[in-house]
Structure 1
Amino acid sequence: MTTGRGVMMDCKRILLAVDTSENSMRAIEYVAQMLGGGCGGEVELLHIVRLPERDMYPDEEAFDAKLCEQEEESHAFLDKARDILLDGGFTDEAVTERQLCITAPSIAQHILRIQKEGGFGTIVVGRRGVSKAEEFLFGSVSSKVVHYAKNCSVWVVG
């Protein structure tokens, strides 16, 4: 499928945007169950890590320790996610991983940028467990992705 701007969108290319939450794990399991049995699709696991504010730590050592902790948690989660997708029937070549560290506040904008650049036909996100009040005040990543996505389908798994 080609969009109006000539960018090729591939319906079998899935961008699976995850954090380390239970809802992300459910989204991974859902994709593995629904599409893993030899559909010929490709999945890119995208974990966007928001870097901690440097001012929140008393010294560089504490800040660096937090960065290492986040990196280890991210790698462990992505390894587990990959295993679930492979167990679900995806081939090793069909599953890629990308970790992006950001300081800017909008995770949704980064997801949408990567979707557009990579020509992904589907974005899959887990519904984050924020309260209605928090969602009203700050929005949620999944709500923003659904609202602003163009030329692709969006699956929100809860």
Structure 2
Amino acid sequence: MGGKAPWTGIDANLQANVCSTVIEIPTAALNPKPLIRVWGRCSLRRDGKLIHVDRAGHPSVSSFFNTDETKEEYNASEPVNDRARWLGQFVHLMGHTGDYSEEEAVRAIDAEGILPDMLSFDPSKPAAYPNGRLLTDDVLNNRLAFLSKGEIPHDGLVPHTDILDDFPYIGTPHLKTL
């Protein structure tokens, strides 16, 4: 998200770049079952073995829901095991951040489709997070509102305005000058 960060007065678009991957698939290629789920993993080779150092489906899930003690285990695991392994931890956190009851937290997790941690896209529905993700979707404010039951106010940042009309859609990286 871009614009001036109100707590700093700094134009956030000019201070950082985001590494992105854009995949373009014709909707017709998704038939007959158009619902797709996507997740990714980053791995590093250490001592001749691949070590899984990060994974993501929904934006910011790992960052907001994991602790220093669980992050490595989460990154090494796969979404198929997410609900059985991580539901309790997610519910616990939501109880603290948003005063959710256990039942409310589970309903919210299910409504947003957070577990398993795979970003879903159904092309028969409008594209906007959590049904896929547009480059202008404000996923951090969405996650903060989700965690707090809407109690954390919007940060005032606005989406990038330099999105391209054609593939790869992501604008030119911003040059950071010192």
TM tier, smaller: under 0.3
Bigger proportion of residues as strand: 1
The structure carrying a bigger helix percent of its residues is: 1
Q: Radius of gyration: which is bigger?
A: 2
**Structure 1 length-normalised TM:** 0.24
